[in-house]
Structures are given as structure tokens and as C-alpha cells.
Structure 1
Amino acid sequence: MKQWSQVDARVVSAGEEVLRRLEDAGHKAYWVGGCVRDEVMGRPVHDMDIATSARPEMVIQLFERCIPTGLQHGTVTVLINKQAFEVTTFRKETEYEDHRRPAAVEFVDAVLEDLKRRDFTMNAMAMDIDGNLIDPFCGREDIKAGVIRCVGEADERFEEDALRMVRAIRFASVFGFTPTLSTWRAVIRNRDKMDYIAIERIRAEFEKILYGPDPLRGLELLSRSQLLENSKLPTVQVQTQPDMLRKLPLLPAVPADLRLSLLVQGLGIETESIPGLLKKWTFPNRDAEGTVSLIRFDQEWMEQLRARNSRSAEEIEKSLRPHWVVLELAYGQGTAGLWISRMQTLLESTNRTDHLLPINREQLKILEDWHTAIPVHHVRELKVKGNEVLEESGRPGGPWLGSLMKQLLYSVAAGDVPNTKEDLLNEVKRMVNLSEA
């Protein structure tokens, strides 16, 4: 008998209440899947899914607050004590359509039948309210051995849902496990079935690999398996990875722009192709836009460095600071800050990096100081408004006003003019007089 140790006690208490109500009504109920796996592994448990012999309509009758999440699959979300639990009726699935979804779902009474339909042995475990582990496929032993093994015949599991092959690689990457030889051979035999899987589902698994603890292992296994040869998703040949790409695990997983930008650049993808490619991969718009901005910022700044080949602090201050201010205003404070953070990792991770990048630690420190010193990034932050500029200039409105406001923004950002109403209006007067001279 095992007590939960990897999950908040309040969540356990609420989950026990769900199990107890189901059992008191004459049904069987268990915690299943990932929560049991993570508890056995000693990993933090975030969600506690429940499987039961009760049909969905019976579950809805037993609990006051329910969301019919997926009634066709037997799933009801039960809300209790401010906690949410997905409660799913024991089921087995009939033949699968297109190697990705069951043609029909058949509800059953036994937890064993339910566990038989799951992908890998480590995910095919259940636990009752007393902490007794139901492990018919030796998932706990496979966890101890650090292996990924399919439930039953691997070819059958991958025939049912080809995405399971990518999930096998994801689990191997995230947990540091190794697919068994039979599982790996089945991946190779069935990889052509990936053509049936929607790119959105592949991308979701790919993201978990990329933002996981060992993305290079996942990318290596994807490359060796050739699972994504036709999917438009990137694969990596480990033996040819540039040094920059090897630093993926050193970057934080959040925000996504950091690793995604390094991956795309490390793969040598042409800048013009990146927006369309990320769209095809169905990455979220925010992540794709942030990634493209970070890459373009990097490329434009590196061009400035290479063009001037400035090395001393005095040279950098004189010739490059105006360009930094322009770039930071164009791409935003967030992008500039992420670029600095990413560059710190690239520089600090190896003593040889200084020879690979046209920038060193001392120069990066100067850029950090510039970044911190910029007081404004948007016209709206100026202490003078457009109508006040019009009044001071005595001129009618027009396109010139927008251009002048941007010039004011640059002057304040560069530290040439204080951000006070008096100083800004004096600068407006100077600029207008200059234009009329």
C-alpha cells in the first residue's frame, strides 16, 4: 500500500472524495495513467485522472458540478473542492481509422480491459483509494529499468495510433529512458504511418521534446528513426550539429522563443523561410512571432558588428550605440532582453565560443548597460502628446507629426533629450526651426 507523496494533499483529498462517491454508489474507480506513473517515478504529479466502471451519465448524477468534456469517449470533468478531475469510463477501442483514432469506443466493466488499450507499460498502471497498485504489464519494473515498452504488441499499438511512436521518443527524451529493441524496431517498421497524423498533434509532442530536459536526445532519436521525414518538422543529425545547436539544453524552456530560435538558426534555415515554416508547423502565433523577431534582431545586430569590426569600448559606444537603440525600439524591449539572455548562455557555456561569435563578454556587458539605460520604448511613454506638439509648432497635422514623434522617441531613448514636457517641446521647436531653415 502506497501513500501519495508527489502531489498536493488537497488534490489527493479531493480525488479520494471522487473515488469514494463512485465506490459508495457501487462502481469501481481508480487513479490511472500519468499520475500513477509519476508517483512511482518520484516526479511531481500535476493532474490526477480517474477511471471508473460508472457510465458518464451515472457520473453526472453523482456530482453536483460536472463538465461533459468528451461524452463520446466516456469522459466527464468533475469539479470538487476547487479541484478538477477527468473521470473516464473503463473502455476498449475497436478498429482504428487512419492510424489515429478509434472507429468506436466500447465501455467495459474491468480496469484490466481499460489498461490493455494504453500505449506503454509505464502508463498502464492504476491505483485504488487504499494505495494498492494495479500493474498487470509490469510498468513499475520497466520504470526501474528505464525502458519504454509497448503494452502487448508494439505493431498493434502503433497501428492504432501512429503518434505513439513520437510519444515513445518524447518519453525517452524527457525521462532519460531507452525504447526496448522490440519497440524501436516497431517504430522503424511503422514510421510510414506518420503520414496519417495531423501536424498539430506532431507539433504538440515535438514541443514537449524541444522544451524538455534533454531536447538533443529527442532530436537525435527523431533523426535516427526518420519519423518526421515527410512532416516538415526539423530533424537533427547529431554528428553534424553546430556548436550553437548543442547549447539548446542550456537555455530556459520558457519563453519558447529562446530554444525555438536557437533550433531554427542551428538548423541553418533561411530567414525568409522561417515565418512560413513555423506556420506550417502550427506553432502558436505568439511563439512564432517572438522567434522570428529574435532571429531578425540577432542577424541585424551581428551585421552591424561585422561591418564595423569594432573591438574597444570607445569604438562600440561611438559607432554602434545608435544602431542598438534603433534596433531595440524597432523590435521591443522584450526581444532585446531575450537576445542578451540567449547570448549570455552562448558565451558562458564554453571557453571557445569567443572564437565563434563576433562578440565577447566585455562587449555584451556594454550592451546590457545600454539595454538597461533606455528609458522609453513607445511614443506613448513620452511626456508630450501629439496635440501639444501641434500647438507648439503652429503647423497643421499631417504625416510629419508621426515622423517627428518617432524622432523624439529616439532622442529620449538615446539619452540625448530628457523625457520632460519642457525639454521635449524645446526639442520640437529646434527641429521645426531646423526644417524651415
Structure 2
Amino acid sequence: MQYSDLLKPLDDSQRKAVLEAARTMKNAGFECYLVGGCVRDLLLGRSVKDLDLTSNAHPEQSRKLFKKTIPTGIEHGTITVRLFGQSLELTTYRTEGTYSDGRRPDQVAFGQSLSEDLCRRDFTVNALAYDPISGDLIDEHGGLQDLEDGLIRTIGAPRDRFYEDGLRPIRACRFLSTLGFSLEAVTEKAISEPDVQDRTALVAIERFTDELRKGFKSPDPSLMLEKLRTSGLLRIFLNRAQMEVSVESVRTESLLHGREAQLERFKDRIQGLEDGMDWFVDIRIFLWLRSGLPDLSPEQAGMLLRRWKFPNHTISCFQGCQRLLQSAQKLAAADGEMAPGSLSIEEGSIPQMREDAHTGFEIRSTLFDLEKLLSHRLHSFLNVWKVALEEFPSPLPGILFTKRMQQFVQSYENEPFRIKDLAIGGKDLMERGITGKEVGDKLLLCLETVWQEPTRNSREGLLALVSHT
């Protein structure tokens, strides 16, 4: 089949790199195809980040053809080719033996044909290959039809594919969110079979966590999470973390879900924020733990994240979100919006929020705690929250961040909430004979006063306060 415009969604440097690599390989007498997820996404008209090529050339042969290569996984036949500022993964055709541990093949051998290589892949939509020079699309497993029908289907018998690699059932669930597809009936049934789940139980925690994070980058992660829950796969990893908790259906709106176009607009708006998408993923993880695993205390949730080997960034974000939630609840209860400790509120019942000393003190003291926890990352953390709440529909009906976040961001940008924001410093106090621990105590007193009344943040006023205490 001819698809002469398939490379059109790529940017210029990507397109040049793919064509140059393919020409170089073919001029040397080798085959060369784009393969896997990048072909799938190009057919769907999506942007592509990772470009994977496959060839009958062995790594040592391929390396001689390009000026700059990196032996990324040369023992498995993979090198990285650098062209036009792009990194292309070039892998030799492979065949794989048995999977004794359910994680990785016991033996990887170089194959002789593209067909051999495509047969070893997981799902039909990932077993498509494209010749960038001729424009020919190779589809030996019905992947095009499954793309059109929006189906995730294994190549061959599902139990065989899942038994080879226990991560594949997790990946199948993740594709529900990242692609917005459904599971083919036989594939779906196999995911819940006991012997398949026994293999999935062998998967390294880090691989499970990586799939979760990928799913949380999608427009609607709840599709993945719900299938993990109903299939019993989630319970496997909760048990491995020694967490005996109930698992409830996740409310879609609690995860800041939206359509693909909304997510892309959101990404554009946070582009200038440091680690913007990482914050967004971590915020969604926090919301999932709150709504999907409600029996977990904050301490247990933090323990779960550690046992699942999430990065420190995720754990810090969870702690920051929890502090924000506590503050929002306290302010809402004080304003009569909700009962203390409640997580819900009747639609349309929110009165005008007060801007009194109590509110200011709570917001600025919360920012002080967040600054200690997140340091220079607080700016990105708050603004990712703010943009997310602005961009996604019906956001967080059970958590009162929507209206409060504007107050937090405004206070962060315009009001004093840190020791360094005070009009006086330690040197001023030492000049007045104050030493040791008393310096810190006096500055904290000044800060708490300023939290209550920011207008008192003047040199004269604070020095007078210190002299009278």
C-alpha cells in the first residue's frame, strides 16, 4: 500500500533525518523501515517524538555508514543515529526465544526478514512498517483495520503474547487512554486470566510505574485506571506494595480530563514552566490517589508512591498538593462553604470568598510551607495547577482549588510570605544586639505579623515590633 504523504506530520528536521538514514542504508544494500508506534501515530496524524527504524543490517554494519552513532543497546541490536539534530533508534531485525521470567526474552537473535521482526511485537497497531523511500506501508497483521476500528488486539493468541512479557497487559490498558481505543474481546478476556496475571505479577515495579506515568499524560487517564481496576491488575501491584485498601471507580472529572485539542493547548500554555508536564502528571496522580483509593491516608499514599518507586518529584508534588488541599478545606470551612474535613460541595453553593486577615494568613503561611517543600519549583507547581484548572472542564468538583488557586498564585507573585520578603533581615537585628536563636525567632514573629497584615511590612514598623517584644 502506498502512503506517499505519511511523513508529512513530522517537522523538517525529523523528515530529513528519516529520509537520509533510509537512503544511506539502502544505498549500502540494506533494507530500512520506520516501524512500531511512530508509524501508528503518523497514520493517526499525531506528532511523533520517538522515531524507530529497523533493518537487516547488523549494528557493526550500520555504525560504519553514519558519522555519529551511539551504542544505545548494541547487545540487543540497537544503535542511535544522530542526523539533523535528531536521534533515530536503529535496530536490527530480531527474533526472540522463550520468556522464562515473564519480563525479558531468554535469548535475542538477529532475524533475516522484516516479517520475523514484526511477528515478535505485541499488538497489531504496533506491527506496521513503512518504507520512507518508496512510500510502501507493510501491514501483515491487520493493524490498519484495527487502527480504523480503534481496537487493541494482540498479534496471535493473547495468552501467548501476554505470557511472553507480563507488562503487555498493562500496556494494553495504557493504550486505552493514550490512543482512546477499546480492547478487542479476546484480548480483553485474556487480561483477567489467572495464569496471565501470574506473569504480570513478575514485572518489575519500575516498568509498571513507567506505564502509569505514560497513561497519565493522555487526555483521559481514567480509561486506563478503570481497566486496571476491573481486570484485577491494579490489585496485583497494590498487594506487592502491601496495601490492603479498597479500589473505587475513578471519577473522570477528578483527573482534569479533556480532549486531545485541550491537552495540546494546555501544553502550549505551560511550555515555559520548568518541568511543566511532569508537574501535571504528578498532580493527576495525587488526584487519583485521593479519588480512586480513598481509604489511603496521606501517609499511606506517600508510602505507596515510594514502594512503587515513583521519583522524588512525584512524592514532593503529592505532599505539596496535600498541603494545598488542607488549606483550601480550612478556608472553605471558615467561609461556610463546606464542613471541616469535607471533600464535597453542592453545585452553585459557593459564596463570595472573603479577603480578610484570616484568609491572608492562611494563604501566605501555606505558601511558606510549600516554599520549604518545593523551593524554587513552587512557581511552576502553582502555575501548572492554575492553568490546568482554567483549561479543563468541570474541574475538581470535590476539591476547592478552582477558586482558591487564583488567590494562591496572586499572593505568591505579589505578597510577602518568606523571610527574605521582609523589609528587615538578620543583620538589622544583630545591629540591635539580638543574637543566636533569638534572631530567627524575631524574624518569624515579623513574618507571621506580615502574613496577617502585609501592609506592616516596612522597616520602621517591623523594627518597632521587634523592640517591643
TM-score (norm 2): 0.81
Rounded Cα–Cα distance in structure 1 between residues aligned with 2:409 and 2:67 = 57
Give the aligned partner of residue 26 of structure 1.
29
Shift of 1:290: 1.1
Determine which structure has greater relative contact order: mean sequence separation of CA pairs < 8 Å that are 6+ residues apart, divided by chain length. 2
User: Which residue of 12, 15, 18 corresponds with 1:12?
Assistant: 15
CA-to-aligned-CA distance 1:77-122 (integer Å, 9 cap, x gap): 0112221111101111111131110111100121110111000111
User: Which residue of 183, 208, 213 corresponds with 1:202?
Assistant: 208
Shift of 1:315: 6.0
Give the aligned partner of residue 223 of structure 1.
229
Rounded Cα–Cα distance in structure 1 between residues aligned with 2:353 and 2:48 = 54
- In the TM superposition, what are the counterparts of 1:19-58 in structure 2 within 5 Å? 19-58=22-61
Rounded Cα–Cα distance in structure 2 between residues aligned with 1:373 and 1:170 = 38
Give the aligned partner of residue 99 of structure 1.
102
8 Å CA contact 1:336, 1:371 repeated in 2: no
1:167 partner letter = R
Shift of 1:26: 1.6
Shift of 1:54: 0.8
CA-to-aligned-CA distance 1:362-401 (integer Å, 9 cap, x gap): x74883586266433433344544223311x123x20111
Rounded Cα–Cα distance in structure 1 between residues aligned with 2:108 and 2:209 = 26
8 Å CA contact 1:194, 1:228 repeated in 2: no
Shift of 1:169: 1.2
Rounded Cα–Cα distance in structure 2 between residues aligned with 1:365 and 1:196 = 42
1:221 partner letter = K
CA-to-aligned-CA distance 1:309-356 (integer Å, 9 cap, x gap): 37876965143322222122222354565666677789x728x95xx6
Rounded Cα–Cα distance in structure 2 between residues aligned with 1:298 and 1:344 = 18
**Cα gap change, 1:345 to 1:111, in 2 (>3 Å):** closer
2:216 partner letter = L
- In the TM superposition, what are the counterparts of 1:155-234 in structure 2 within 5 Å? 155-189=159-193, 190-232=196-238
Percent of aligned positions that are identical = 30
**Cα gap change, 1:344 to 1:12, in 2 (>3 Å):** closer
Does residue 406 in structure 1 map to residue 444 in structure 2? yes
- In the TM superposition, what are the counterparts of 1:112-191 in structure 2 within 5 Å? 112-128=115-131, 129-189=133-193, 190-191=196-197
Rounded Cα–Cα distance in structure 2 between residues aligned with 1:120 and 1:314 = 52
CA-to-aligned-CA distance 1:97-153 (integer Å, 9 cap, x gap): 311101111001211101110001111111112210111111111101111111122
User: Which residue of 295, 302, 320 corresponds with 1:293?
Assistant: 320
Structure 1 window deviating more from structure 2 (248-257 vs 259-268): it is 248-257
8 Å CA contact 1:94, 1:102 repeated in 2: yes
Rounded Cα–Cα distance in structure 1 between residues aligned with 2:58 and 2:415 = 61
Q: Which runs of 5+ in 2 are unaligned?
A: 267-276, 338-349, 372-377
Rounded Cα–Cα distance in structure 1 between residues aligned with 2:44 and 2:383 = 37
Shift of 1:271: 1.5
**Cα gap change, 1:13 to 1:416, in 2 (>3 Å):** closer
Q: Which runs of 5+ in 1 are unaligned?
A: none
Q: How many residues align?
A: 421
RMSD across aligned C-alpha pairs, in angstroms? Answer: 3.0
Does residue 279 in structure 1 map to residue 306 in structure 2? yes
2:438 partner letter = W
8 Å CA contact 1:91, 1:105 repeated in 2: yes
Shift of 1:411: 4.3
8 Å CA contact 2:69, 2:80 repeated in 1: yes
Rounded Cα–Cα distance in structure 1 between residues aligned with 2:182 and 2:16 = 35
Shift of 1:410: 4.1
8 Å CA contact 2:98, 2:164 repeated in 1: yes
Report which of the two structures shows the higher radius of gyration computed on alpha carbons: 1
Q: Secondary structure at the match of 1:96?
A: coil
